[in-house]
Amino acid sequence: MGVSSEEALFLENEAFCEEVSDKSETEKKPLEFISSGNLEIDKKLEGGIPAGSLCLLEGAKGSGKSIFMQQIMLGALNQDKKVLSLTTEKTSRNLLNNMESLNQDISDYFIIGRSKIFEINASYVEENPELSNNLLERMLKCVNDCDEELILIDSLTILAVSASENTLLNFFRECVKLCDKGKTILISVHGYAFSQEVLYRLRSVCDSCLELRIEQVGDKLIKTMEIQKLRGARKTTGNMLSFDVNSECGLKIIPVSKVKA
């Protein structure tokens, strides 16, 4: 029995669709990660920070946000990636000296231009809070125009508390678009500076959310990190890890047995 021209066309289209579907499956790339350079941290993060994602680091002063960012910076540079750090917390010299003191020396990468540090004068922003909206827009343009794959913003708090809510949310949404183009962006904020409603909305925009805290266990003060949300995670997030800052190796994981001891 012969096949009509309409049936032939249908079968041809069906075969084409199956071919395209097969190609998309074979060409699908595995999720890439930016390693922290610390095997224990990467294990908790199921490989590291997902490349092409927007990650929010939330925590109080002294909870370890900057140290964690420095760890990710070092890991990315060791993976031959380019890194841009936008900082309101330190000068470039202070940041380089601090990393060197923690055995995370990146001065060679800085000299050859693989790592760039842009300083944002926090005291100037405090004196002129009306400039925050404009500075957030300029920061977006900087991230869009740069050729670095990893962008670290530590911290956004000084700008975010003075900016309008719409400008702040738009900033995060535009960061998501930049991540879709291949950028990986980590933003640290002090959680107490925002209302719960704003924080909830910021978390919902981000691909990954890590909360860092200082907790008292017995007579000890320890730093903890809770993985609240992680893009591509195979298991339920909420994993906790405890860490300390060690001059020999930077960020050092504290085993649960020692925390409880």
Between residues 124 and 94, the one the model is more confident about: 94
Cis omega (within 30 of 0) for bond into 257: no
Residues 177-230 have pLDDT tens digits of 999 999 999 999 998 888 889 899 999 999 999 999 998 877 888 899 999 998
User: In degrees to the nearest 10, what's the CA dihedral of 17, 20, 24, 26?
Assistant: 110
Residues 22-76 have pLDDT tens digits of 444 444 566 799 999 888 888 888 899 999 999 999 999 989 999 999 999 999 9
Confidence of residue 11 (pLDDT cuts 50, 70, 90): very low
pLDDT at 235: 60
**pTM of the full structure:** 0.84
pLDDT at 259: 56
Between residues 81 and 260, the one the model is more confident about: 81
What span, in angstroms and rounded, lies between the C-alpha atoms of 85 and 117?
Answer: 5
For the chain, what is the largest distance between any 2 Cα atoms, rounded to a whole number of angstroms? 86
What is the mean pLDDT of the segment spanning 107-112? 95
What is the mean pLDDT of the segment spanning 107-136? 90
